[in-house]
Structure 1
Amino acid sequence: MNFNNTAHETDSQQRSLGGNHDSQPSVNVTRRRFLAGTSAAGLAATASVTTMGGVVSADPNEHLLEIQGTGKRAGYSFAVDGNLEKTSGGGANINSNDTISENGASGEVGRVADAYTFDGDLLAFKLDGEANVLLDGEAAHVGRRPDYFLEIQGTGERASYSFAVEDNLEKSTGPVANINAADEIENQRGRGEVGAAADAYTFDGSLHAFDIRGVMRVLLNGAPARVGQRPDHVITFRGTGEPAHYDFTVDGNLTKTTAYGANINANDTISGNRARGEVGTGADSYTYTGGIPRFDLDGSADVLIDSVGTLRSQ
């Protein structure tokens, strides 16, 4: 069984890729405990909101987001769909660990707090550690929100993309994105195309891979996603009960991964751009760039590229 797929990359243009397989994130959260609301869109207009000893006023479209530390370091990132600013109101601090870019922010807290004001809705919030998160003085329920807001902005000329994520992938309109027939979601993989407009998605967990053909800007919670530094694709072997041996070569970089429930064991080996291993009842996964010029499978297994397009060989 042969796969033919070629690709190349230009960092100055994020990435320009060619190939026959489409692709999907990678951030590991070691501990997530959500202590703390209400959606920004569902808040009633009030004259003022008292919080952290301060008063936030007046405009019902402006909101205050507070991330209060509980003593141990906790990292966070989030995205909103309106104007975003850092604030020191109510005892919050501003330091070099806090950054704002586009429509998102990231930072960390320990014993003190960070605070931001913004317009519109809170689109996504990822918390790594333990913190108390308040939206206009009420619990923000960040554990019920998606981790990430992914925005794909066109630069004027048609460009296509595909990517694979860990979980709960959904289309979003965000601040300026649209939803059209060219955008598809299947088994935690998204794909589509942009021109002068933008596409957006929300998801949980990791961004496993991202494949671009053309030029575009890609943002993750408001910050550049650096998709040119991510692998193009994930290949997964799922055992069907009996041992199956595989051997394949890629024409780019190749790395073992635990994406899609895969494990790493002594039966799996990588030598340069060649991987060999076996699966029985579990799964093996690899991330790679470029194409797969050679592929052999001895036995029965399901082979997926970017979580879809199952191929069976016996």
Structure 2
Amino acid sequence: MTALGVAGIGASSGATARSLARMLTVKGTGEYTEYALSVSGDLAEQADLSGEDDVSGSTATGAVAAGRDSYRFSGAITGFDLSGDATLLIDGERTDPADLSTRTLAIEGVDTYTEYAFSASGGISPRDGLTGEDHIHADGKRASGAVAAGRDSYRFSGEITAFSMSSDAKLFLDGVEVDITSLLSHTLAIQGTGPRADYSLHVSGGIAGKNGHSGEDDIDIERGRVDGAVGGGRDSYAFSGDLLDFDLDGDADVFLDGDRL
């Protein structure tokens, strides 16, 4: 079984099981199965566990066979590993353990100050490289920060559901460098035809520059808005959700997911 390596994140403040609203239960199916879990808040045993089960801060390890182990917790589940077969219940609902597998996302600066924000369907926890500018929100499912020459790395579970970035950076998903289009499903390109053309756009999800940007192009990652300009070049963006608004002052060719508008 792989250790989670996130002990101490959101360490328990002395909360008791009775004071914690959420519950996680690992129910054995007859096969001896080890597990490890971590949460973004407090964690406590629901009832007396066996000698194989241990709670330390916001993490727990243990094993089940034919019985069940239950925990009370707050925040989000930031990691869950299972060595064999067991039934997982979260707040009374059966959950596929694969949906809680721990994954990683790293944002590496390329000597340009770049702000970013992202959310995940499961929990997010810090891995390494974070500074005072980097923040995991109270719900445990959103994070924001900035990089220049360093690297910010996070653990998360589930899928990346939104991602925004104000400038250039390298992205590593589960240790593999990926293009921004692997996190954002749509592309929008503005191809200049010579004279200057100003544009603005607004999307409902995340947005990031793809290529061709200059100092005149401004990405507001909080609002999902961009103001920019092209001359004879091409500005490209990747985004998720819907294109809510697009304004163009001047002549340019515009392509949405490769199709000319």
- Both structures adopt the same fold (TM-score exceeding 0.5): no
Choose between structure 1 and 2 for higher RCO, CA contacts under 8 A separated by at least 6 residues. Answer: 1
TM-score (norm: length of structure 2):
0.35
Q: TM-score, normalised by structure 1?
A: 0.30
